[in-house]
Amino acid sequence: MYSTIHDKSASGRSVSVNWRVLRLCLGCFTSRILAASFAAAGFGMWIIPSDAPSELMVLKLAVSVFFLLLAAVFYTSGRNIGTDEFHIDTQRREIRHILRGNDGIARLQARYNFADLAEVQLDDGIILARDKAGRIVLNRPCYSVDLERSLASAVSLGLIHRA
């Protein structure tokens, strides 16, 4: 049995793909516009000539550095890193944590063999897995009925232990 789980929105509601794409585009576009505006303001202070005393030049430098830092924050916050997926593969006896980027490419983040896990549990939309030493190796939010079915199947086959 093989299942794929996609995260939902922060409120736990399922979000339509069209709205998700629209929100992503508007959020990215707005943050990039703000980043460009702050960068232009940071550099623009030095383009316009002024007869300010040297004491004000230090303040001008501090304000332009602040604007450039804000530009960097807005530029990097406009990127969406992708969505988490968890694949429970009973044939290969492993749980795979995959990050699917905006480009649609799935990138393997971690692979956990059933033999290395002491217990796996899914409570309130959080998948939690511990290794045999008792350390938490997986603690991520995910919401899916498919994951519960896959866990139940793996437990019934005796592949993993459920807490």
Q: 105-120: per-residue pLDDT in tens? A: 888 888 888 888 888 8
Cα-Cα-Cα-Cα dihedral sign, residues 139, 140, 144, 146: negative
* pLDDT of 147 strictly over 50: yes
Which domains are present in the chain?
2-7+81-156 (2.30.29), 17-77 (no CATH)
Residue 99 has pLDDT above 80, yes or no: yes
Whole-number pLDDT of residue 49? 79
Distance set, CA 53 to CA 42, 48, 57 (Å): 19, 15, 7
Per-residue pLDDT at 103 exceeds 60: yes
Between 152 and 96, the more confident residue is: 96
Per-residue buried b or exposed e for 115-128, using 16+ beta carbons within 10 Å of the residue's own CB: eebeebebeeeebe
The structure tokens listed for 100 are 């699917």
Residue 135's pLDDT is 85
